Structure 1
Amino acid sequence: MNAVNNGQSGLRGPSQNVIATLGTSPNVPNLTATYQLSGGTDGAAGVSDNTLLGADGLVRSGMYALRKSGAQVGNLIDCTSQNTWSAQLAFGLQEGIYFHGANPAGTSITDSATNLANSGVDGYGFMCLVGDWTFFNDTVNGVQRMVSPATYTSALQAATSPEQSILNAPINGIIATQSSLQNLTYSDAEIAQCSTSRLDVVTLGAPAGSIFACRTGQNASSNSATNGDNYTRMTNYIAFTIASAFGYVPGKVQTINLRRNVKGAMDAFFANLQTNNMIGNVNAPTQPGWSVEIDAKNNPFSQVALGYMQALVKVTYLSIVRYFLVNIEGGQTVTVTPVQNP
């Protein structure tokens, strides 16, 4: 029983299929016979959306078990209750976790938009997808299974560099969506409705080709300056990096050298980001895309006396191309003047 439940000295882990309990039979265990197992369960009985959400406190469960875990992308698998979205957003903003969620299977764009509006969710820490669910091949059981599209989008988001967007990026593993199974394609107007409704949707067919991909790459924020998924990821990435790199500062004596050292390290970090095309102004590529200020201007004596040292950091993110417009002038009377690339 111990071997089944706990594994054997690191050579083999606990069983992934059964849980053993000690019986009451006086007979010696038969170690040679083969037994057919039946009547097992997958442990999902009684698991609801509220179970996935969990509770905060001294003993944390569900989503709240991720507190201070360092996770940057989250998904409560197949959670569809709009009543949980505001809690996901609030927790995501607190912890720097970008949560992905979806409407129930079969929910239209219009109804998905209504659900999002009624939920009161408006922030960059949550992505809301239309209820057009996805299918994959379960090769173990030999069946096709339907799962929330958030399962795929969150995985792709986690595997994507923070300055990038999952907009128009191929999502591997999907064999169909509910709409593609019915040979239904989304019109430009429907994709535009998703965008204006702060939704995203996974479709078969995208500007990049005949692939499964997200079509808006945006979070649930109504602020156009912060509603890109790259904004969420980059903001959280910078915050996590600074928090971990400069955790040694509290407890130090605030001196000119400390300020200079911290500023120098931050400048080096952001310079590296710009070198790797993660931040910057595309129209002024030779100019720094960041600034760091730690001096008397933003650290007055009254604040220093209370134990505060403040860094004012400004960063220009590289934008994501959402719309590529091409104006064509053609005809037999058109005169062409070659234009040099910048």
Structure 2
Amino acid sequence: MAVYPAGSLNLTAQVVPDTAVNVIPPQTRNLNGVPTNGIGIVGTASFGPKNTPVVVGSYADYVGVFGNLVNRKYDMGTHVATAHKQGANSFVCVRVTDGTDVAASVAILATCLTVTAAYTGSAGNSIKVDIGPGAKPSTFRAVVSMPGAVTEVFDNIAGSGNALWVAMAAAINNGTDLRSKSALVTATAGAGTTAPATATYSLASGTDGTTTINDATLVGLDNNPGTGMYALKAQPNASILVLADTDTTSSWAGQLAFAKAESFFLILTGPAGQAITAAVTAKNTAGIDDASAKVMFGDWIQWQDPVNKSLRLISPQGFVAGRYANLSIEQSGLNKPIYDIVGTQKTNGLSSASYSTAELQTLFNAGIDVITNPVPGGNYFGLRGGVNASSNPNIKGDEYTRQTNYIAQTISRGTGIYVGELINQTTARNAESTLNSFFANMLQTGQLALGLDGSRPYKVTCDVSNNPQSRTALGYLTADVQVRYQGVVRFFIVNLEAGASVTIIER
């Protein structure tokens, strides 16, 4: 008897009588939905790799890689912190610089050992190297520490004279039997032979490289590998895109083109203190009329910075991105609370200084959203419009963009299993079943819902009706999919009939 994996049993090769078991996997293949809670953020930082996507799960994780947030424009940490306050817990961070950044360093005992931060940036200036006796006799220990990062201990380093410093550099650069190499620094042994004394050495002269940063730096270049936002190409862990504080409309078209190509929901913002008429003109001039983008009005947020202990005026992008990351895809951002806001430029923390109906109508008609207090649900800060940047009334809700991106990306990444299979009735049925199972799961989890009349909100067709032989002969197998999203209550109408003469008829 022989056992064959699916597809490997050649029936025409069977000559000797025997039993053959052909193992066939389940015919219904399920699609696993892509993540929708990840935020791709591009900005400056005080440490960490440059133009390289790094996944972090919290602000504390961010600090361990990129250092603390900094009170300045384009700061990536500020947006991670404000998004995290909304419940976001998945970030793909890309640090950019203007090219003038320098790594901190220190020369220990002049010519014995030079220790240099693993990355450029001012946070490297907080790195310390403690040298002292090791746990074993006649050995030494080097301890590398940085606030917010895991302390690294390189113990029991043996040797004397220059050989000791060579061994210490090797331990830091390559690791020891007890730990891996340093993630914070690199070390170079010099020619010195002085025996170490117990001492602490601080790295210095690290700079961030942010003096000439502008929107174009964050947009980056579509090279191989890409820089700036282009470093986020083909990132499965992010569905929302923020280029920190890029508020000049000249960069918006390039951002939108990238967001559409990569199925990101792009969060844009106008400059601080923007007038409503200026916002509408700027958006129209930029040509941003597309559901893939969300344009926030330039009414920036008053935020109490817990690191710098100061009240700052910052872009709304991080708050908005964090709110979406913590919402299921079918949910609109409209009327949902946004946390950790002291005030905005217009409200100044006072709900009485709100927007007029005419002002809101002008913004929403132009495809521009704004954070206000109050919102229809009460006296709290939240998105007042729940709109994307499209002027098409059928697709201008923010929930449309996120649901469409989710469905399209899931199908794109999950149906490649059918490429290379034979076009026949079995394959067509399996493909149709796969898609039906995916939408049935969306229905079961509440991402889709039955119509008020009980009708099913999706239909998948993959059979002879939409696959004529003239097409299948060329290698095409087509599945036609229709999906009806749940509507969002934007206007709640109550018809009130009241009076002593009203007749009540029970249904």
| SS of equivalent residue, structure 1 residue 163 | coil
CA contact (8 A) 2:342 2:349 kept: no
- Once the two structures are TM-superposed, the CA of residue 303 in structure 1 deviates from its matched residue by 1.6
Q: Which residue of 1 aligns with 2:416?
A: 247
Higher mean displacement: 324-333 or 207-216: 324-333
One-letter amino acid of the counterpart of residue 91, structure 1:
F
CA contact (8 A) 1:226 1:232 kept: yes
1:270-281 superposed matches below 5 A: 270-281=439-450
Cα 1:11/1:153, change in 2 over 3 Å: farther
- Once the two structures are TM-superposed, the CA of residue 39 in structure 1 deviates from its matched residue by 6.5
- Once the two structures are TM-superposed, the CA of residue 161 in structure 1 deviates from its matched residue by 0.8
| SS of equivalent residue, structure 1 residue 251 | coil
Q: Which residue of 1 aligns with 2:493?
A: 325
One-letter amino acid of the counterpart of residue 235, structure 1:
T
Higher mean displacement: 251-260 or 119-128: 251-260
Q: Which residue of 2 aligns with 1:96?
A: 263
Separation in 1 of the partners of 2:286 and 2:373? 28
Q: Which residue of 2 aligns with 1:223?
A: 392
Q: Which residue of 2 aligns with 1:197?
A: 366
Separation in 1 of the partners of 2:304 and 2:182? 27
Higher mean displacement: 120-129 or 300-309: 300-309
Cα 1:311/1:326, change in 2 over 3 Å: same
Separation in 2 of the partners of 1:23 and 1:52? 37
Separation in 1 of the partners of 2:448 and 2:209? 45
- Once the two structures are TM-superposed, the CA of residue 182 in structure 1 deviates from its matched residue by 7.1
Looking at CA atoms only, which structure, 1 or 2, has the larger radius of gyration? 2
1:117-128 superposed matches below 5 A: 117-128=284-295
| SS of equivalent residue, structure 1 residue 145 | strand
Higher relative contact order by CA 8 Å / sep ≥ 6: 1 or 2? 2
1:12-91 superposed matches below 5 A: 14-15=183-184, 32-33=199-200, 41-70=207-236, 71-91=238-258
Aligned residue among 129, 133, 144 for 2:300? 133
Separation in 2 of the partners of 1:30 and 1:214? 60
Q: Which residue of 1 aligns with 2:340?
A: 173
Higher mean displacement: 54-63 or 308-317: 54-63
1:310 equivalent to 2:470? Answer no
Q: Which runs of 4+ in 1 moved over 6 A?
A: 10-13, 19-25
Q: TM-score, normalised on structure 2? A: 0.61
Cα 1:23/1:194, change in 2 over 3 Å: farther
- Once the two structures are TM-superposed, the CA of residue 276 in structure 1 deviates from its matched residue by 2.4
Give the unaligned 5+ runs of structure 2.
1-113, 120-143, 145-151, 153-174
One-letter amino acid of the counterpart of residue 322, structure 1:
R
Cα 1:14/1:153, change in 2 over 3 Å: same
Cα 1:55/1:182, change in 2 over 3 Å: same
| SS of equivalent residue, structure 1 residue 205 | coil
CA contact (8 A) 1:280 1:290 kept: no
Separation in 2 of the partners of 1:211 and 1:13? 46
Q: Which residue of 1 aligns with 2:404?
A: 235
- Once the two structures are TM-superposed, the CA of residue 219 in structure 1 deviates from its matched residue by 0.6
Separation in 2 of the partners of 1:264 and 1:281? 19
- Once the two structures are TM-superposed, the CA of residue 45 in structure 1 deviates from its matched residue by 2.5
